Structures are given as C-alpha cells and as structure tokens.
Homo-oligomer: A and B are copies of this chain.
C-alpha cells in the first residue's frame, strides 16, 4: 500500500485525492497546502491528515511518494525536493513555465536518478491508449497524419489566463504531448493564433490556435484548439496511417440517442470538462505511477517528455508571432 502525500489542494488536487482513495494500491496519508484550512478541508473528506507546511511532506514518515499539484512555478522546486528526499513524485503539467527552468532542474537532479512522472494524463485515456496500442501493433501501417481536436467548454477567467503561461503552455501542452506520443520527437512547428472571443480581446493571449507539427520522417500532427465550445469539452484524436485510421470520439454521460420531428440520433453534449472526461485517465495514470514506484522503475511520461512539450510550446509561440515554421 503506497502512502501518498498530496501537495496542493486545488481543483486538480481534489481529482488526485479521489483517485488515490479509490485505488486499492494506495492510501492518502497527508494533504499539504500553504493555506491550512484548504488542506484540512480536502484531507478530512478522505480521512487523511493535513498540513500547512509543504516542506514537511518530504520528510514525513507516513509518505512513500508525493503527488505535486502546486502552482506551475513550484513544480520544479517540489520535484527537486522530492528527489532529494528520495520520494517518487507524480507532478502535474507543465513541468515549468520556461525551458531554462527545466535545464536548471536537469542540472540539479544530476546523480539523483529520481522517479518522476509527469501528469500527461491523456496518454492514459482508455481510448487514446487503445489507439496507441493499435498503432504500435501496426494496425494502421505507418503513421502519416495525426489530427487532434481539443476545445475547452468555456474560457477561464482573464485572471487565470494572465498567469497561465499562454494557451500553448497551458492548454496545447497536453496536445503537444499527445502528438509526441504518436510521432516521437518533433522536428518542425508552425502555428496560427486566433483572437476571436471579444471577452478575451485584451487578455494578451490567443483564444484559438491551429498548430502543425512534423517529425523527422515527415509525418504530421495538426492541433485545433479553442478556449470555448458550445457542445462541451471537445476532445478527439485521429491517427491516419498507410493501412487505415483510428478515431477516438468524444465521451458523453449516456449513450442515449434522441429522435424527433426536427432531428434524429441526437446525443448528449460532451462531458463538460476534464474532471469527468478524463476521470478514467487520471485513475489509470495513478495506476502506472504506483506500479512503477512499486517495481522500482521509471514511469513514462517523465521530465524529458515535459521538457520536450515545453520546447514545442515555446516554438509554437514563436511560430504564431512570426508566421514562420520553427525547426527544433
């Protein structure tokens, strides 16, 4: 039974607290947050103890591994602290706001060989994962074109956007990892940014984007992002290869199809957002983390995957600003 210390009791912290509790191989020992009341509220719900002192978690006897749900700028220090304490860590994405921070982390971790997993949960979505397995098994031949549609149901507050690092590091970062999941190392990045939402006109960020990636072989991934989508959280993936294609459709709460005089076979709106849409993915991700820790192996995706996605995000920003294809 792996005893988990959870850092950060925000929205994503709640997701992991529930996953840990539901997982037969793990138990939630402690929840730490800089706001003690927030930590206590979450800890109480799942029968864990709480702490307002995050650093205490790295030395706690009842913590075998940590899950890092702190704000992005703290991911690197918390990963480092866990590594130094010899505690395996599952950190939320992105690993950092800047590639330079990851470079420093890499230097600081030299010789420690820590077990660190990055929370690119979509690799563990049952449908995306099944596509990956089928692709690896050669079902569609050689992969040529990956099409990713990824739209949020509604734009976050401008306050969130201001500190988010921008759409490419905040939102597309998941899609960049998905692209790498199927294409491996990315060679070129081109991007078009959109400013279509009047409510975000002065946010200083794009509210939509089209990004095209290629790998060294010339296979492509196309990502279509929007900060809003009337029908819900639109998350689709298609992998087209020489022998066929594999498509993951959106998830919905039920399988009901409604038919009336106006339309037929109408289905539910998609899940409203990532907690529901990727519930199974969070659970499977945690499973992989627990398995890796238990077996003493390095889980995937790791820090280098986070670093690679971050580099693509930075290149996408440059590509969107300059209108030039960026070579990595």
Contacts and interface: CB of A to CB of B under 8 A. Distances in A.
A267 B263 contact: yes
B259 A247 contact: yes
A144 interface: yes
A262 to B, nearest CB: 7
B256 A226 contact: no
A59 interface: no
Given A231-B259, A231-B261, A325 B192 contact: yes
Interface in A164-198: 188, 190, 192, 194-196
* Copies per complex of this chain: 4
Contacts of A142: 196
Nearest to A218: B194
A235 to B, nearest CB: 10
A228 interface: yes
Nearest to A46: B24
B270 A226 contact: no
A242 B254 contact: no
Size bracket of the A interface: 35 or more
A231 to B, nearest CB: 4
B264 A265 contact: no
Contacts of A266: 258, 263-267
Interface in A282-323: 323
B196 A188 contact: no
A248 B242 contact: no
B246 A261 contact: no
Contacts of A231: 244-245, 259-261, 264
Contacts of A15: none
Nearest to A254: B127
B208 A139 contact: no
A218 B242 contact: no
A84 interface: no
A124 to B, nearest CB: 12
28 contacts: A22-B22, A127-B256, A130-B268, A134-B258, A139-B258, A144-B196, A145-B208, A145-B210, A145-B226, A190-B323, A192-B325, A212-B212, A230-B244, A231-B244, A231-B260, A243-B261, A247-B258, A247-B259, A247-B265, A248-B254, A248-B255, A248-B256, A249-B255, A249-B257, A251-B255, A264-B266, A323-B325, A324-B324
Interface of A: 22, 126-127, 130-131, 134, 139-142, 144-145, 147, 149, 151, 188, 190, 192, 194-196, 208, 210, 212, 214, 217-220, 222, 224, 226, 228-232, 240, 242-270, 323-325
